[in-house]
A and B are shown apart, each in its own frame.
Chain A
Amino acid sequence: TAGNNILQLGPCRVSMSMAEIRSGFNSIKANIQARDPIKSLSILSYPHSLHKVKPSERCCITHHLCSFYVAKVFRHCRTEDSYVNRKISSIANSFLSLRRNLQHCHEQNKCMCGQESTEKLKQITVNYEGLNVTSAAIKSLGELGILLDWME
Chain B
Amino acid sequence: DALLPPPQNISILSTNMKHFLTWSPVIVQGEAVRYSVEFQGEYEREYANESWIPICECSLIAATECNITEDISATVAYKLRVRAEAGAARSEWGTLKGFFNRITTSLTPPLMKVIADGYHLLVELEEMGPAFQFWVLYWKKGQESRMQQKVVKEVSHMIHLDTMEEGLGYCVKAQTYVEAINRSSGFSQTQCVRAQGGTSMWLV
A57 at the interface (CB under 8 A from B): no
Specify which chain A residues have a CB less than 8 angstroms from the CB of B32 in the assembled complex.
none
Which of B40-48, B82-90, B91-99, B194-202 forms part of the interface with chain A? B40-48
Q: Which residues of B contact A (CB under 8 A)?
A: 39, 41-44, 46-48, 53-56, 70-71, 73-76, 78, 129-133, 153-154, 178-180, 182
When C-beta atoms are compared, the residue in chain A nearest to B152 turns out to be A1
Specify which chain A residues have a CB less than 8 angstroms from the CB of B182 in the assembled complex.
15
B132 pairs with A1, CB closer than 8 A:
yes
A20 pairs with B47, CB closer than 8 A:
no
Q: Which of A2, A78, A82, A94 is the one whose CB lies under 8 Å from B73?
A: A94
A3 pairs with B53, CB closer than 8 A:
no
Specify which chain A residues have a CB less than 8 angstroms from the CB of B44 in the assembled complex.
89
How far in angstroms is the closest Cβ of chain A from B40? Answer: 9
For chain A, the bracket of interface size reads 20 to 34
The contact string, 1 if C-beta is below 8 Å from chain B, for chain A 15-29, is 101011000100000
Report Cα–Cα, A78/B182, bound state, in Å.
Answer: 32
Q: Which residues of A contact B (CB under 8 A)?
A: 1-4, 15, 17, 19-20, 24, 70-71, 74-75, 78, 82-83, 85-86, 89-90, 92-97
Report Cα–Cα, A19/B178, bound state, in Å.
Answer: 13
When C-beta atoms are compared, the residue in chain A nearest to B44 turns out to be A89
